[in-house]
Amino acid sequence: MASRTRHSNSPATSAAAAFTPDALSVAARHLEVGGEWVSSFAVIGFPREVHPGWLAPLLTYPGRLDVSVHIEPIDPVTAASRLKKQLAKLESGRRHTAEHGRLFDPHVEAATEDAYDLSSQVARGEGKLFRVGLYLTIHAVSETILADEAAALRSLCASLLLDAKHTTYRSLQGWVSTLPMGLDLIGMRRTFDTSALAAAFPFTSPDLPAPDPTSVAAPSGVLYGYNVGSQGLVHWDRFGDGMHNHNSVILGRSGAGKSYLVKLELLRSLYRGIEIAVIDPEDEYARLAAAVGGTYVHLGARGVRLNPFDLPIHTRADGRRTAPKDALVRRSLFLHTVIAVLIGGESEAAERAALDRAIAATYQSVGITADARTWTRPSPTLSVLRDQLAVAGQAGDRAAGELVGRLHPFAEGAFKQLFDGPSSINPEGHLTVFSLRDLPDELKGIGTLLTLDAVWRRVSNPAIRRPRLVVVDEAWLLMKEKSGAEFLFRMAKASRKHWAGLTVATQDTADVLGSDLGKAVVANAATQILLRQASQAIDEITRTFDLSAGERAFLLSADRGQGLLSAGTQRVAFQSIASPTEHYLVTSNPAELAAYADTAGPVDEAEAAFVDLGFDDTDEDEFGSDDQVHLDAV
């Protein structure tokens, strides 16, 4: 049937005419509204259990689809009475089945368990019951296209374990039920409890929210992988406008894919023009640095030195060399941290006083004073400080004499190779990797500290304005020392002011979360990523990150590469993914590395791909934020 309406010239009627179709044709299973064809469905079957955002696939349907949810609360008295009657029917059926020796119906058993759970929740006031109606209306431009769209919609509903039926001979009532009028003319309801209803709300989604929901531009940031819950892509921009800081912390047990994910994020951040410095304790970033034309600093090799006495002198764009007004004072304070890490513990007051006097005398011995014009002179070394302490010890300073003995292995003994001369490296470029693998275990803590100091000098250089990332892999090497943890904490607090982000990755969560400084470093990270956790550490992780029972279970059973990305109030479970070229550059699997060594093909292809993108050491100064390269180009 068809009906047409006439509109009067009154203002109210004219306003309503803008929303009223000129003609309405009603058929058994569809409507023709103006020049559009619509078909409505009522959902009569639901899955037993639902997860947050389970309606998201319907809301992201590529065609025009209206989703309407009608909710009617049930008062507790009525809910309890109905549940009691339902339990009586179910129990009666079970007893009748048992008396006749028949097999139990698994669906009846599941329904009985659910009814008991709902009844106890309602009785304790932990939940309520609601009558919920879910209706769908699909739009198309022709009857043929409408049939195809309806079939696609029913297939989508079937994949979600939803049974969607046509509102046959009630097509008009079904369409009206999906209009924003609050009218349910179909009346096909299903009982939901509070948790299931909360998960069905349209604004609940397992995906991270877009920075600008009104923008049609591609998502910005770094691709971490795909969403485990919705199969959508997980993009996250640590340098976004709404971020409180650009820091990140990544915690995961050995073999969970922690370093793999860090290298993936590093590689994809290079496409965005972000300058990166990496502290690599296991020499895992060598292939990546070689492929993208980065700088590789091999600490522990002969002739590679980092002098902790170097003052932070910055070279401006016009060639002038400048330094902060309190550079000498700050360097003296940093040397106290260096000595504390070297000798392995807090010094007594007398030792700190003797050390402070010796540091001042050490700089004066080479002509460096409070006058900033002297700061460009060659810096002293640790052996000069040892000599000054020895002079003070001979003069009767007992604390200075004790420090001489404790510093001897690092000034003249077996561990002097890192300090026995001026600095031999000047880390620059879009990617700088500091390898600590060949350093003795006694020097890895101080090597990490000196490397962070060298990186911080470049980060804090006001002449260079670009986003930067500082990656500290296996941060427990530095966190186990109080002085090192304090330096890392200060860096985490101050990096935002210099447009930089700190990435702290470790497999030993006990060392990070077992101290107040470690927890402070985690708290100052706006982006937090948790990979698979050991059962021994999950309790501390749960308390620190306030995990739910489901998140806790997910982290205990997560596969390699799966994790939980937490950014503010949003959390999403993801699986990291990589292209074949990326996988070659970031994998640390010994079997795969041995296979790559036997065949030079992947090596040549990977290096050629990245040279084509401009990641070579001949034009590293031209690499900037304008070099935007899509991931598919690799």
pLDDT band at 256 (very low <50, low <70, confident <90, very high): confident
> 3-state SS of the chain: helix, strand, coil percent to 5?
45, 20, 40
Work out the end-to-end distance of the chain between its first and last CA atoms, rounded to an integer number of angstroms: 59
For residue range 587-611, list pLDDT tens digits in order.
Answer: 888 888 788 777 654 444 445 444 4
Q: Residue type for 571, please?
A: R
Residues of the chain with CATH 3.40.50.300: 244-298+427-613
Average pLDDT over residues 245-263: 88
Which tokens sit at 411? 């000034």
607 vs 290: CA distance, rounded Å: 8
23 vs 16: CA distance, rounded Å: 15
Q: Which CATH superfamily is domain 244-298+427-613 in?
A: P-loop containing nucleotide triphosphate hydrolases (3.40.50.300)
Compare 479 and 306 and report the one with higher pLDDT.
Answer: 306
For residue range 52-86, list pLDDT tens digits in order.
Answer: 778 878 877 878 899 999 998 888 777 777 777 77
96 vs 112: CA distance, rounded Å: 14
Helices 398-411, 327-343: axis angle to 10 degrees equals: 80
Tell me what pLDDT residue 329 has.
87
Tell me what pLDDT residue 518 has.
78
345 vs 299: CA distance, rounded Å: 24
Residue 156 has pLDDT above 80, yes or no: yes
The DSSP string of 390-437 is HHHHHTT-HHHHHHHHHHHHHHTSTTGGGTSSS------SSEEEEE-T
Q: Residue type for 347, please?
A: S
pLDDT band at 38 (very low <50, low <70, confident <90, very high): very high
DSSP 35: T
Q: For domain 307-422, is the CATH number 1.10.8.730?
A: yes
343-352: Cβ within 8 A, 24+ apart: 343/403, 343/406, 343/407, 344/481, 346/482, 347/403, 348/399, 350/398, 350/399, 351/399, 351/400, 351/402, 351/403
Q: Residue type for 24, please?
A: L
Residue 581 has pLDDT above 50, yes or no: yes
Query: Position of tokens 């409890």?
Result: 193
DSSP 373: G
Q: Is 336 exposed, middle or buried (0-12, 13-18, 19+ CB in 10 A)?
A: middle
Strand order in the sheet with 562-567: 233-236, 222-227, 570-575, 562-567, 527-531, 248-251, 500-506, 468-473, 275-280, 431-435, 295-298
- Rg of the chain on CA atoms, in Å: 33
Tell me what pLDDT residue 173 has.
92
* Cα torsion through 79, 85, 86, 91, rounded to 10: 140
166 vs 41: CA distance, rounded Å: 5
Tell me what pLDDT residue 617 has.
42
Which tokens sit at 486? 């304090």
Q: What is the percent of the chain where pLDDT is above 70? A: 82
Q: Could you tell me which residues come within 8 angstroms of residue 188 by beta carbon, excluding any fewer than 6 positions away?
A: 42, 44, 133
Which tokens sit at 187? 């009346």
Average pLDDT over residues 467-489: 78
Residue 8 has pLDDT above 90, yes or no: no
Averaged confidence pLDDT in the chain: 79
Tell me what pLDDT residue 15 has.
53
Instruction: Supply the pTM of this predicted model.
Output: 0.61
169 vs 387: CA distance, rounded Å: 99
Tell me what pLDDT residue 147 has.
92
Average pLDDT over residues 190-210: 71
Lowest-pLDDT range, 130-139, 501-510, 614-623? Answer: 614-623
Which tokens sit at 26? 């009603």
Tell me what pLDDT residue 460 has.
78
Residue 3 has pLDDT above 70, yes or no: no
Tell me what pLDDT residue 154 has.
92
pLDDT band at 614 (very low <50, low <70, confident <90, very high): very low
404 vs 418: CA distance, rounded Å: 18
Specify the DSSP element, H or E, that contains 519. helix 516-523
Residue 345 has pLDDT above 80, yes or no: no
What's the half-sphere exposure (Cβ side, CA atoms, 13 Å) at 295? 20
Tell me what pLDDT residue 213 has.
47
For residue range 376-413, list pLDDT tens digits in order.
Answer: 888 898 888 888 888 888 888 888 888 888 888 888 87
State which of 155-169, 513-527, 534-548 shows the largest mean pLDDT: 155-169
Tell me what pLDDT residue 322 has.
65
Q: Are 505 and 253 in contact (CB under 8 A)?
A: no
Average pLDDT over residues 3-31: 65
Tell me what pLDDT residue 20 has.
72
β-strand pairing of 431-435 with 295-298? parallel
Average pLDDT over residues 328-332: 87
Tell me what pLDDT residue 618 has.
38
Compare 527 and 486 and report the one with higher pLDDT.
Answer: 527
Residues of the chain with CATH 1.10.8.730: 307-422
Q: Residue type for 200, please?
A: A
Residue 572 has pLDDT above 80, yes or no: yes
Tell me what pLDDT residue 633 has.
28
**Beta-bridge mates of residue 396:** none
243 vs 247: CA distance, rounded Å: 10
Tell me what pLDDT residue 611 has.
45
For residue range 115-138, list pLDDT tens digits in order.
Answer: 777 777 766 666 788 889 999 999
Residue 583 has pLDDT above 80, yes or no: yes
